[in-house]
C-alpha cells in the first residue's frame, strides 16, 4: 500500500506501508517524506544553532584580544564578526523554520487525503470504531497532525544536536575534560529521553483514543437524536456521552501531566549537568588553568547549550511519542480498509437494476449496504440522470437561491416548492423564502434542509430523477404528502426512489425489492 500523492503537485515522497510496517517505522518514513523542504531546513537549522553557539565564543575572544589589551582595532573587528554572526543566525532561523513548516504541512496534507480516501471508499462494517464519524474525524485530523510532526524531528533536533557537538568540540580545544563531558553527556541524555518517552507514548495514544471515542459518541447522539427523542432515551444518551467526555478529559489530563513531568525532569537533568560544567570551569579559572576570556566562553557556551539540550530531550521525546502513538492508529485504519475491501469484492452479488419505462415512478426497496450498489449502478448506466443523494448539500444563500430553476421560472419554482411541501417555510422563516440558509443549510432544521434539497431536484425537471431516502428527517404525515406530490409532479418523467419508506412504496407504479442476495 502507498500513501499516494493527491491530484495537485505536492513534493512529498510516497510512503510505503506493508503488513510488517510498525508505528516506529511509519513515523521514520513520514520524517523523511518531504526532503525538498526538510533537507535545506535542517541545513539552515544547523547554521542557526552553530551561529548561536559562536556568540559566547566570539565574545570571549573579543575580551581576550580587544578588551583586555585595550586595542580599539581588535574591538571593532570582533564587533563586526559578532554582527555578521547575528545576521547569519537570524537569516537561517527565519527561512529554515518556514521550510520546516511547509514540509510538515505538505506531509500532513498527504496523510489527510489518504486517510479520507480510505474512509470514503471502504465498505461499512458493523461494530468498527473508525466508522463512527467522530473517530474517523479524529484520525483524519488530530492523528494526521501528530504524525506529520515527525517531519520536524528531522529539522530542529538535528540543528540542536549539531550545536551540542559543536559546543563540545570547542570545549575540547579549551579544556578537554569539559569537552569530553559534554560529548559523552549528550548521548546519555538522548538515551534517557527514549526511555522516559515510553510512558508518554502510551499516554498520548490513550488520549487520542479517548478523544476520538467521545467525538464518536457526540456524532452518534446528534445523528440519532430524532430516534433517541422518540423513544425517550435523551437522559441515557446524555449520560453515556458525559461518561465518554469525562474519560477523554481524564486521559488528556494524565497525558499532559506525563508530558509535564517528563519535561520538568529533563530540564532538571540538563540544568544540573551544565551547571556542573560551569562550576568546574570556574574552579579551573581560579586555579589559573583558564583565562578570563576562556572562562566567559565556557560559561556562555554552557548557558547556551542548556536550551538545545533541553529542547533536544523534551521536543524530540514528546514529538516522537505523539507521532508513534498516532502512527499506530493510522496504521490500524489503513490496514483495516484493504482486507475489508477485498472480502467485499469477492462476496458482493451484482445488483439487478430496474428498467424504468417512460413516465414510470419506481421505488427500489433495499437496505443501506445494497443502496450504495444500486446508486453506483444507476450512475454508471444512466450518466445523464440527476441523482439527488440522501445527504444533499445546500450552498450559502436564500431558500429561493437554492431551489431556483435554470432558466428562472416562477411556475416551475412554485411547483417544486409544492411538491416538497415547502409552503410553510415562507411562514416560519424570518424572511420567508428570502431567508438565508447558512453555510450548508445550518440555519435550517434537518427536515427543512431535506425539503429544500428535494425541491431543488424537482425544479431541475430531469428526464430521469434518482432520489435516495429524500424524507428521513420529516414526520410520517408530511412524508406521505410529499410522496403523493412528487409522484404527481413527475408525471410523464422517469423517476427512481431508493428507499424503504412505506409512503413512497404506496404511491409507486412499481416496487423492486432487493435483498442481500439480489432481487427478492
Question: In this predicted model, what pLDDT tens digit does every residue of 266-325 receive, in sequence order?
Answer: 667 767 776 777 787 778 778 877 777 777 777 777 777 767 776 776 667 667 777 887
Residue 515 backbone zone (phi > 0: left; psi -120 to 50: alpha; other: beta): beta
Tell me which residue of 36, 269, 316, 296 sits closest to 160, measured CA to CA.
316
Contact yes or no for 437/493 (Cβ under 8 A): no
In this structure, the number of other CB atoms found within 10 A of the CB of residue 152 comes to 23
Measured between alpha carbons, how far is 250 from 332 in angstroms, rounded to an integer?
Answer: 24
Report the pLDDT value the prediction gives residue 44, as an integer from 0 to 100.
94
**Pick among 3.50.50.60, 1.20.1560.10, 3.40.50.300, 3.40.50.720: CATH of 2-137+146-332:** 1.20.1560.10
Helix (H, G, I), strand (E, B) or coil at 361: strand
- The whole-number pLDDT of residue 177 equals 75
Q: Are 10 and 107 in contact (CB under 8 A)?
A: no
Nine-digit cell string for 364: 427500489
Note the CATH architecture for domain 361-519.
3-Layer(aba) Sandwich (3.40)
Q: Looking at residue 5, what is its pLDDT?
A: 42
Does the pTM surpass 0.85? The reply is: no
Q: Could you tell me the three cell numbers for 255?
A: 497525558
Q: Are 420 and 458 in contact (CB under 8 A)?
A: yes
Give the residue among 164, 170, 186, 183 at the shortest CA–CA distance from 293: 170
Rounded to 5 degrees, what are φ and ψ at 519? -75, 135
Give the 3-state secondary structure percentages of the chain, helix then strand then coil, rounded to 5.
Answer: 70, 5, 20
- The C-alpha atoms of residue 283 and residue 318 are separated, in whole angstroms, by 36
Backbone Cα Rg of the chain: 33
Distance CA 486, CA 453 (A): 13
**pLDDT digits 0-9 by tens, 167-195:** 778 877 877 777 777 677 666 766 666 56
Domain residue ranges of the chain, discontinuous segments joined by +: 2-137+146-332, 361-519
Q: Which stretches of the chain score pLDDT less than 50? A: 1-2, 4-9, 337-348, 520
pLDDT number for residue 95: 93
Q: Quick: pLDDT tens for 435-467.
A: 888 877 778 888 888 999 999 999 999 999 999
> In sequence order, which residues have a C-beta less than 8 Å from that of residue 431 and are 6 or more positions away?
398
Contact 336/482 with Cβ under 8 angstroms?
A: no
Domains 2-137+146-332 and 361-519 share a fold: no
Amino acid at each position: 500500500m502507498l500513501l499516494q500523492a493527491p491530484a495537485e503537485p505536492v513534493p512529498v515522497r510516497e510512503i510505503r506501508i506493508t503488513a510488517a510496517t510498525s508505528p516506529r517505522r511509519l513515523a521514520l518514513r513520514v520524517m523523511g517524506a518531504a526532503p525538498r523542504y526538510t533537507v535545506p531546513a535542517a541545513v539552515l537549522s544547523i547554521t542557526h544553532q552553530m551561529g548561536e553557539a559562536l556568540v559566547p565564543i566570539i565574545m570571549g575572544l573579543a575580551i581576550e584580544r580587544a578588551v583586555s589589551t585595550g586595542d580599539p582595532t581588535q574591538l571593532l573587528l570582533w564587533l563586526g564578526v559578532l554582527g555578521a554572526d547575528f545576521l547569519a543566525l537570524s537569516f537561517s532561523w527565519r527561512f529554515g523554520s518556514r521550510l520546516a513548516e511547509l514540509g510538515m504541512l505538505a506531509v500532513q496534507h498527504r496523510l489527510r487525503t489518504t486517510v479520507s480516501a480510505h474512509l470514503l471508499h471502504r465498505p461499512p462494517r458493523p461494530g468498527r470504531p473508525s466508522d463512527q464519524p467522530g473517530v474517523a474525524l479524529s484520525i483524519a485530523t488530530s492523528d494526521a497532525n501528530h504524525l506529520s510532526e515527525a517531519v520536524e524531528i528531522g529539522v530542529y533536533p538535528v540543528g540542536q544536536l549539531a550545536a551540542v557537538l559543536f559546543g563540545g568540540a570547542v570545549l575540547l580545544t579549551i579544556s578537554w575534560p569539559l569537552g569530553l563531558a559534554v560529548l559523552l553527556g549528550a548521548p546519555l541524555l538522548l538515551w534517557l529521553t527514549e526511555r522516559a518517552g515510553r510512558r508518554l507514548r502510551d499516554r498520548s495514544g490513550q488520549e487520542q483514543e479517548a478523544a476520538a471515542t467521545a467525538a464518536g459518541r457526540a456524532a452518534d447522539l446528534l445523528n440519532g437524536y430524532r430516534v433517541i427523542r422518540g423513544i425517550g432515551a435523551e437522559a441515557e444518551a446524555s449520560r453515556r456521552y458525559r461518561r465518554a467526555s469525562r474519560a477523554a478529559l481524564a486521559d488528556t489530563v494524565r497525558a499532559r501531566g506525563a508530558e509535564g513531568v517528563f519535561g520538568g525532569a529533563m530540564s532538571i537533568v540538563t540544568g544540573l549537568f551544565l551547571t556542573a560544567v560551569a562550576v568546574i570551569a570556574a574552579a579551573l579559572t581560579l586555579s589559573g588553568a583558564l583565562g578570563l576570556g576562556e572562562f566567559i566562553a565556557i560559561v556562555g557556551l554552557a548557558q547556551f547549550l542548556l536550551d538545545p539540550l533541553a529542547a533536544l530531550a523534551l521536543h524530540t521525546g514528546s514529538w516522537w511519542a505523539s507521532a508513534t502513538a498516532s502512527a499506530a492508529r493510522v496504521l490500524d485504519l489503513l490496514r483495516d480498509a484493504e482486507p475489508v475491501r477485498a472480502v467485499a469484492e469477492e462476496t458482493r452479488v451484482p445488483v439487478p437494476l430496474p428498467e424504468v419505462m417512460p413516465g414510470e415512478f419506481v421505488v427500489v426497496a433495499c437496505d443501506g449496504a445494497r443502496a450504495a450498489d444500486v446508486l453506483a449502478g444507476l450512475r454508471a448506466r444512466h450518466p445523464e440522470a440527476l441523482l439527488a443523494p440522501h445527504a444533499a448539500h445546500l450552498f450559502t444563500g436564500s431558500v429561493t437561491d437554492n431551489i431556483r430553476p435554470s432558466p428562472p421560472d416562477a411556475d416551475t419554482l412554485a411547483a417544486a416548492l409544492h411538491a416538497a411541501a415547502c409552503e410553510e417555510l415562507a411562514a416560519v422563516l424570518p424572511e420567508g423564502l428570502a431567508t438565508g440558509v447558512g453555510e450548508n443549510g445550518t440555519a435550517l432544521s434537518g427536515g427543512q434542509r431535506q425539503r429544500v434539497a428535494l425541491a431543488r431536484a424537482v425544479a431541475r425537471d430531469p428526464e430521469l430523477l434518482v432520489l435516495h431516502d429524500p424524507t428521513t428527517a420529516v414526520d410520517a404525515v408530511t412524508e406521505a404528502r410529499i410522496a403523493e406530490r412528487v409522484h404527481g409532479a413527475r408525471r410523464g418523467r422517469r423517476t427512481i426512489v431508493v428507499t424503504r419508506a412505506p409512503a413512497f412504496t404506496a404511491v409507486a407504479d412499481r416496487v423492486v425489492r432487493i435483498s442481500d442476495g439480489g432481487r427478492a
